[in-house]
């Protein structure tokens, strides 16, 4: 969850570290800190509880001497609250070494006890300080910083990325990773390390992903990657496909507002190069082609918003490819002793590609012999690298904690995959595939139309800013949309919100309806072949009779809804499976506007972080 930056090169570390931390702050934002080796060879540090700006203001009031080597950290607290003392970096006993950490060291209590017995004392409550003290002790044993780190990491259990520097090796930063991300940025006379490429993309677009259980040593002119035991590894370089401006707000009031507006482009980019007239080209599935002809079942694993994309994928895959699909939350998956065979395809969905729950579920699936495919937005992410194949959603960097454009891009990627599988399995005719592809290709233009309704939604959100609870209802593909609408409202506006399958209401939740209760209803098209429209209109009448205030998201021109809704938010005509891509947008805007009306930070909601790299 935390953001990590390392730099070695010219005497401008502070600028590089703070710039990188600003771009990584979405990963965690309850405290921040830096450590620098000055040109005079001193190790200086500063760390503060609160958002990065607190540290920046502190550094402005009382400047820190700059240098050519530094590490920086922005934290999402695990062990110990968000205080100055618990913030990273943490120091070795002699104060010559500084260390930052992302992840959780599960055996920290045992290691701490060992150090206490050895006469060490601790200032903080963190597992990180244990690693810092341990590394300091190993450094004293000789062999240099990288070798000492190697001896420490083999003793650690859990997930971690560690970066460290030592004042006796003034132009060196070392890093190590296990189940937690770390990427190298290659510069000219300078090199970078980051939790993701956003840390250094304004300086270089040349990147190298570090594999599992590897150690990296950077100096201004060299990069060395080894395994934990010092054996050299030759990693592969990749080019970052977006530039620094893509991760800037660019005049928008928030990253979330910008990312909502980028949804037409996000879907178009996910489809671009993959649809050729009536054909789908997914060369990235080459390694899976044989498996795809043989699979008898699909299990989709994901968390949060990505899991709702997965639910939509289930409807599409079962309808088009006629294969049983189940969707499981990643963190429940491996504890349910799932039945997996070589004929099971496990599809993981993750924007970050680093969500620990999903990564662990993918590893479990691999060990059980299942074929694995990931749908991922972040180039070179761990989940993508672990899987047999990856379909990248080319949504561009998603910085706001609340997922928006990644969600619609995930749905588009799942639908592409579903149509591809239908062709491989012969379950859809060529004209039917062509028709679905045409519909999918039309989504970006329809998303543009939906975005035009945002002013009205903004007004609604303002009126409703003192709501205490909001309910969301949907049937079939409208149900995951209802869940997503509720999640957005919870995480951004801190309002109690629940999504229900509309048919489930009468089995209990209808008791929640009281006069004035706002209920968003996702109304299927009146042209829906399953005749769900009439059923949802009946559900609307049932709750309206009990005083609910109805906010209907319905196809434009749907006259049957008008008499019963207090407000109708129109979406363009689309086939049933494609409606969610449009219907979710007003709900995203509503949550963002309501949070804004309450004066909340929509990009960095309380208690959350963008990339959930702990289990
Ligand atoms: O990076 P991932 O897609 O794996 O993240 C999964 C969830 O943590 C994420 O979708 C989360 O629910 C969002 N904050 C929702 O807006």
Q: What is the pLDDT of residues 317-342, one digit of tens each?
A: 999 999 999 999 999 998 889 999 99
Q: Nearest to residue 75, comparing CAs of 102, 93, 110? A: 102
In this structure, of 96-100, 177-181, 203-207, 358-362, the range with the lowest mean pLDDT score is 177-181
- Tokens 């930063």 -> residue: 173
Given a contact cutoff of 8 angstroms between Cβ atoms, the answer to whether 143 and 168 are in contact is no
Mean per-residue pLDDT, 111-125: 95
Tell me if 355 CB under 6 Å of ligand 1: yes
pLDDT of residue 294: 94
Set out the domains of the chain in order of their start, with CATH numbers. 3-246 (3.60.20.10), 249-441 (3.40.50.10490), 454-597 (3.40.50.10490)
Tens-place pLDDT, residues 246-295: 777 777 889 999 999 999 999 999 998 899 888 899 999 998 999 999 99
Across the range 60-83, mean pLDDT stands at 91
180 in contact with ligand 1, CB cutoff 6 A: no
Question: Residue 486 Cα, ligand 1 centroid: separation in angstroms?
Answer: 14
Any ligand 1 atom below 6 A from CB of 304: yes
pLDDT in tens, 190-199: 999 999 898 9
Give me the pLDDT at residue 529, please: 76
Buried/exposed code over 567-578 (b: 16+ C-beta within 10 A; e: otherwise):
bbbbbbebbbbb
Omega prior to 89 cis, within 30 of 0: yes
Ligand 1 centroid from CA 304, angstroms: 5
Higher pLDDT, 240 or 403: 403
Measuring CA to CA, how many Å separate 76 from each of 29, 162, 305, 463?
6, 15, 20, 33
* Candidate from 605, 612, 613, 615 with most ligand 1 atoms within 8 A of CB, to mutate: 612
pLDDT tens, position by position, 350-384? 999 999 999 999 999 999 999 999 999 988 889 99
- Average pLDDT on 67-73 reads 97
Cβ-contact 352, 610 below 8 angstroms? yes
Instruction: Identify the bridge partners of residue 390 per DSSP, sorted by sequence position.
Output: 374
Question: Given CA atoms 529, 531, 532, 537 in this order, what sign does their dihedral have?
Answer: positive
Query: How far apart are alpha carbons 374 and 388 in whole angstroms?
Result: 8
Region 503-530: what's the mean pLDDT?
92
- Percentage of the residues of the chain whose pLDDT score is greater than 70: 100
Look at residue 247 in the predicted model and tell me its pLDDT: 74
> Strands 275-276 and 279-280, how do they pair?
antiparallel
Q: Which of 302, 351, 584 gets mutated to test ligand 1 (max ligand atoms within 8 A of its CB)? A: 351
In this prediction, residue 147 carries a pLDDT of 97
Residue 104 — pLDDT band, cuts 50, 70, 90?
confident
- CA of 381 from ligand 1 middle (Å) equals 15
Angstrom distances, CA of residue 127 to CA of 87, 136, 152, 361, 614? 11, 15, 13, 25, 13
> Which of 43-52, 245-254, 479-488 is the least confident region?
245-254
Instruction: Please tell me if the CB atom of residue 350 comes closer than 6 angstroms to any atom of ligand 1.
Output: yes
Cα–Cα distance, 244 to 256 (Å, whole number): 17
Q: What is the pLDDT of residue 611?
A: 77
Q: What is the predicted pLDDT for the residue at 24? A: 87
Q: What b/e sequence results for 143-173 when a residue is b if at least 16 CB atoms lie within 10 Å of its CB, and e otherwise?
A: eebbbbbbbbbeebebbbbbbbbbbebbbbb
In this structure, how many other beta carbons lie within 10 angstroms of the beta carbon of residue 596? 21
Q: Is the CB of 401 under 6 A from ligand 1?
A: yes
pLDDT at 444 over 80: yes
Supply the pLDDT for residue 534: 93
Which whole number is the average pLDDT over 85-92?
Answer: 95
Q: Which of 354, 355, 601 to mutate to test the pocket of ligand 1 (most atoms within 8 A of CB)?
A: 355
351 close to ligand 1 (CB < 6 Angstrom): yes
Q: Which of 133, 22, 44, 124 is nearest to 83 (CA)?
A: 124
């Amino acid at each position: 969850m935390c953001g990590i930056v390392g730099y070695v090169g010219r005497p401008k570390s502070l600028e590089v570290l703070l710039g990188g931390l600003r771009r990584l702050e979405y990963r965690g934002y309850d405290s921040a800190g830096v450590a620098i080796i000055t040109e005079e060879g001193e190790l200086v540090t500063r760390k503060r509880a609160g958002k990065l700006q607190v540290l920046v203001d502190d550094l402005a009031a009382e400047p820190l001497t700059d240098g050519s080597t530094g590490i920086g950290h922005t934290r999402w607290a695990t062990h110990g609250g968000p205080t100055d003392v618990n913030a990273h970096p943490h120091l070795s006993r002699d104060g010559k070494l500084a260390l930052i950490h992302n992840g959780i060291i599960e055996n920290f209590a045992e290691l701490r006890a060992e150090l206490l017995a050895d006469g060490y004392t601790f200032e903080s409550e963190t597992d990180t300080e244990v690693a810092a003290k341990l590394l300091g002790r190993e450094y004293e044993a000789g062999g240099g910083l990288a070798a000492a780190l190697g001896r420490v990491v083999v003793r650690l259990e859990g997930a971690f990325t560690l970066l460290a520097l030592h004042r006796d090796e003034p132009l060196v930063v070392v890093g190590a990773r296990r189940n937690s991300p770390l990427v190298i940025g290659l510069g000219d006379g300078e090199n970078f390390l980051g939790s993701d490429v956003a840390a250094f993309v304004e300086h270089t677009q040349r990147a190298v992903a570090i594999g599992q259980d590897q150690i990296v040593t950077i100096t201004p002119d060299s990069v060395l990657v080894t395994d934990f035991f010092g054996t050299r590894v030759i990693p592969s370089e990749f080019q970052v496909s977006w530039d620094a401006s893509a991760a800037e707000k660019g005049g928008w009031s928030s990253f979330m507002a910008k990312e909502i507006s980028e949804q037409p482009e996000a879907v178009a980019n996910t489809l671009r190069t993959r649809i050729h007239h009536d054909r789908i080209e997914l060369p990235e599935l080459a390694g899976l082609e044989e498996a795809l002809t043989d699979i008898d079942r699909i299990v989709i694993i994901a968390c949060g918003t990505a899991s709702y994309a997965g639910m939509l994928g289930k409807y599409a895959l079962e309808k088009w490819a006629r294969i049983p699909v189940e969707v499981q939350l990643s963190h429940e998956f491996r504890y349910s002793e799932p039945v997996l065979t070589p004929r099971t395809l496990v599809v993981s969905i993750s924007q970050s590609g680093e969500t620990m729950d999903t990564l662990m579920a993918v590893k479990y699936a691999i060990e059980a012999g299942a074929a694995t495919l990931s749908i991922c937005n972040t180039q070179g992410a761990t989940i993508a690298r672990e899987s047999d194949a990856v379909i990248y959603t080319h949504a561009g960097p998603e910085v706001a904690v609340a997922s928006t454009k990644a969600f619609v891009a995930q749905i588009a990627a799942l639908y592409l995959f579903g149509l591809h599988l239908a062709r491989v399995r012969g379950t859809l005719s060529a004209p039917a595939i062509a028709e679905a592809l045409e519909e999918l290709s039309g989504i970006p233009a329809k998303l543009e139309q939906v975005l035009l309704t945002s002013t009205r939604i903004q007004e609604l959100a303002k009126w409703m800013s003192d709501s205490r609870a909001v309910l969301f209802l949907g049937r079939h593909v409208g149900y995951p949309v209802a869940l997503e609408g509720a999640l957005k409202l919870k995480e951004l506006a801190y309002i109690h919100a629940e999504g229900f399958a509309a048919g489930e209401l009468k089995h209990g939740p209808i008791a929640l309806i009281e006069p004035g209760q706002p209920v968003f209803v996702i109304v299927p098209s009146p042209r829906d072949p399953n005749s769900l429209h009439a059923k949802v209109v009946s559900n609307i009448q049932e709750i309206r009779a009990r005083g609910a205030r109805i906010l209907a998201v319905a196809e434009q021109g749907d006259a049957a809804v008008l008499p019963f809704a207090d407000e109708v938010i129109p979406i363009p005509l689309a086939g049933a499976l494609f409606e969610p891509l449009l219907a979710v947008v007003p709900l995203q805007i509503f949550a963002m506007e309501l949070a804004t009306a309450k004066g909340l930070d929509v990009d960095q909601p309380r208690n959350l972080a963008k990339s959930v790299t702990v289990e």
